Chain A
Amino acid sequence: KQEVTQIPAALSVPEGENLVLNCSFTDSAIYNLQWFRQDPGKGLTSLLLIQSSQREQTSGRLNASLDKSSGRSTLYIAASQPGDSATYLCAVSSGGSYIPTFGRGTSLIVHP
């Protein structure tokens, strides 16, 4: 059974810092990995989707990498802003049904 762990669970940083959020998974036979952002009480917004054949995806200040062999993905946020404050979740799709396994998320606070 796939297990997904996100470290750290919470992070508080000053504005302008570059950040790395980590997602690790136990079964490397994945189809894809997706990073989401969730604001309190709101839905999940997709940030980046990395297919198993890809090593990284970029969107604006965000870059996500995937290393299947080590069971890890990182989400890099450049020049963090207070508006980046949210919970970030990763979801790993694997197994015959493609149903993703979600991590518990990293709660990020960027203070001015």
Chain B
Amino acid sequence: DADVTQTPRNRITKTGKRIMLECSQTKGHDRMYWYRQDPGLGLQLIYYSFDVKDINKGEISDGYSVSRQAQAKFSLSLESAIPNQTALYFCATSDPQDGYTFGSGTRLTVV
């Protein structure tokens, strides 16, 4: 199994729908992150969590929410999806010795 698993891998949803992207990890890292990647814009940080009780907004948190259900699980929700949220979404974990480990990504299309 992958160290960082994201589900689903691909999702097409309609404008206004609520959608949840899930992430689980087996690295045992306390820190988890959600990033968005758009062509030509690089990686943008949406939310990050340093432990189960610590959740912080990143650069582009508007329109998104997160839940840290356990050390190993960190989910991202779009409460009411809009077309400009179409992007590739990545979950990542980190610790100072291992650096960052990324999941394979979720390709989200909002129509």
Interface size of A in residues (CB-CB distance below 8 Å): 20
Q: How many A-B pairs with Cβ below 8 Å?
A: 41
The digit string for B31-56, where 1 denotes a CB below 8 A from any CB of A, is 10000000000110100100000000
8 Å CB interface, A12-50 against B: 31-32, 34, 36, 41-46, 49
> For the complex, would chain A's binding face be called helix, strand, loop or mixed by DSSP majority?
strand
* Beta-carbon contact of A42 and B42 below 8 Å: no
Q: Chain B contacts of A43 at CB under 8 A?
A: 90, 102-105
Q: Chain A contacts of B103 at CB under 8 A?
A: 43
Task: Give B27 Cβ to nearest chain A Cβ, in Å.
Answer: 12
Q: Chain B contacts of A109 at CB under 8 A?
A: none
Q: Chain A contacts of B107 at CB under 8 A?
A: 41
Q: Chain A contacts of B100 at CB under 8 A?
A: 34, 36, 44, 46, 91, 100
Q: Chain B contacts of A104 at CB under 8 A?
A: 42
Which residues of A are at the interface with B, using a C-beta cutoff of 8 A? 31-32, 34, 36, 41-46, 49, 89, 91, 98-100, 102-105
Q: Chain B contacts of A36 at CB under 8 A?
A: 100, 102
CA distance A43 to B102 in the complex (A): 6
* Beta-carbon contact of A44 and B90 below 8 Å: yes
- Asked if B98 is at the interface (CB within 8 A of a chain A CB), the reply is yes
* Beta-carbon contact of B42 and A49 below 8 Å: no
CA distance A89 to B101 in the complex (A): 13
* Beta-carbon contact of A44 and B102 below 8 Å: yes
- Asked if B19 is at the interface (CB within 8 A of a chain A CB), the reply is no
